[in-house]
Structure 1
């Protein structure tokens, strides 16, 4: 029974890949990112429909509900849980992709490095915050790839080596007098 179910799942996945290749060629480009499969890319393209709808790539995160809800009153500005606006299925798929990217089998990439840095901050919900942050960054990256038609580069080198950039920042802070 399990073997038959496994075969049906494989057949459905093949149909999804065929549908993505035939009707949505832009969805194939989005699958360059590790962890993003045909279901996520198809759902992303079908949900957003037209990339010209968004003026900035960061607007996609808010559209999908992957930004923190705010509670502002007087001098306080609290960040609460995510807004959960937009398509729930796509948000869940992006969160699952983020779990894969941050998990033990996630390949090295800028997204993984950013997520692991967020996890290192500690706190009782650091891992959860990192997963949501990476899901948002993933949505923005998918949108940028779709709109520009560019190839995904998983690990772009920083403009300066890390040690050199720290030295430049420390020497620059010594040269600039503080405004007190």
Structure 2
């Protein structure tokens, strides 16, 4: 007899439900959310597991890796699909959610999620920490601007390097105000210093990565975008074709069709928000700042003439994602023209 298990994970405890191939509940238990404790229950010789469902979440990568090493057929399933399935239950509890996930595994009604490799997880952590430090430093700078504006002091347009010097100029004759702002400037300086250290680490990784260097041959794509793309896609072969990358990143329109109604809405915005934002910024840079002409920019300009610049940037971001996947898969570089380079006959 085959068995199926559903795991409802929380920070402290995980609810486990084991059912057989007829849907009968065989065992229900709660254990600490740790791979060793979960494996101790699931590796019992009494169970012949066909599938074990684990909902995607903050602990899912760690738990998935531990259970997979224990030889268990664990599958990480998509959160939105699981939520829609479990919404049919009247009472939402950890026990009921574990039961629902177990039944999803039994009837094979789930959408699997790719669990990233350890290298991609570390790169993602680097990108997230770098972005967090940058956002906090910008927030402190904006707060300092707001505090000074109450006294009629305007910072104006000033770069990151000269920001502290500009604040010193404005508070030169107001020592008590300068004393108040000094801790904020120290905190900002520390954040900027740590941000620069992480950025140097990012550049060193990109410098030694052949895939990132090839992706940077695309106009508008820099080190941050290329590293974020490789960390997000992780394994390019998991996509059936390059065009499948667009929907995964939430860059394709939502279609609503019912009877005679047929509406094409905005982009779905599902998937990785950081990667989608970076692709949008890269597309905007290519469309507005890159001076060298290419077939890709010409295509985007034609879209802008027909549909407007905003939609052109979104369409270009989606096409950049497709091109980057193709370059990664083929081992090629970006071609500035559509003409194929033919070998010269000798």
Which position in structure 1 is the counterpart of 2:262?
77
- Give 1:74 shift: 1.2
Provide the rounded CA distance (Å) in 2 between the counterparts of 1:119 and 1:2: 33
**1:2 corresponds to which residue?**
160
Deviation, 1:157, is 3.5
8 Å Cα contact 1:20/1:28 also seen in 2: yes
Q: Does 1:149 align with 2:331?
A: yes
Task: State the partner residue of 1:63.
Answer: 248
**Residues 15 and 65 (structure 1 numbering): CA distance in 2 closer, same or farther, change over 3 Å?**
same
Match runs of 1:1-180 below 5 Å: 2-3=160-161, 8=193, 12-22=198-208, 24-122=209-307, 126-157=308-339
Identify the structure with the greater strand proportion.
2
Query: What SS is found at the alignment partner of 1:33?
Result: coil
Q: 1:122-144 CA deviation, whole Å, 9 max, x = no partner?
A: 5xxx2111111100000000000
CA contact (8 A) 2:279 2:320 kept: yes
State how far apart, in whole Å, the 1-side matches of 2:215 and 2:290 are.
20
Change (3 A) 1:106 1:94: farther
- Give unpaired runs (5+ residues) of structure 2: 1-158, 163-188, 341-346
Aligned mates of 1:77, 1:63 — CA distance in 2: 22
TM-score by length of 1: 0.77
Question: Residue deviations 1:38-75, cap 9 Å, x none?
Answer: 11001000011101100110000011010001111112
| Higher relative contact order (Cα pairs below 8 Å, separated by 6+ residues) | 1
CA shift for structure 1 position 11: 5.3
Query: 1:105 Cα shift?
Result: 3.5
Q: How many residues align?
A: 153
Per the normalisation by structure 2, the TM-score is 0.41
Most deviating of 73-82 and 99-108: 99-108
1:68-119 CA-to-partner distances (Å, cap 9, x unmatched) read 0111111232110100111000000000000011114343112211110011
Supply the distance in 2 between the matched residues of 1:19 and 1:74 (Cα, whole angstroms): 52
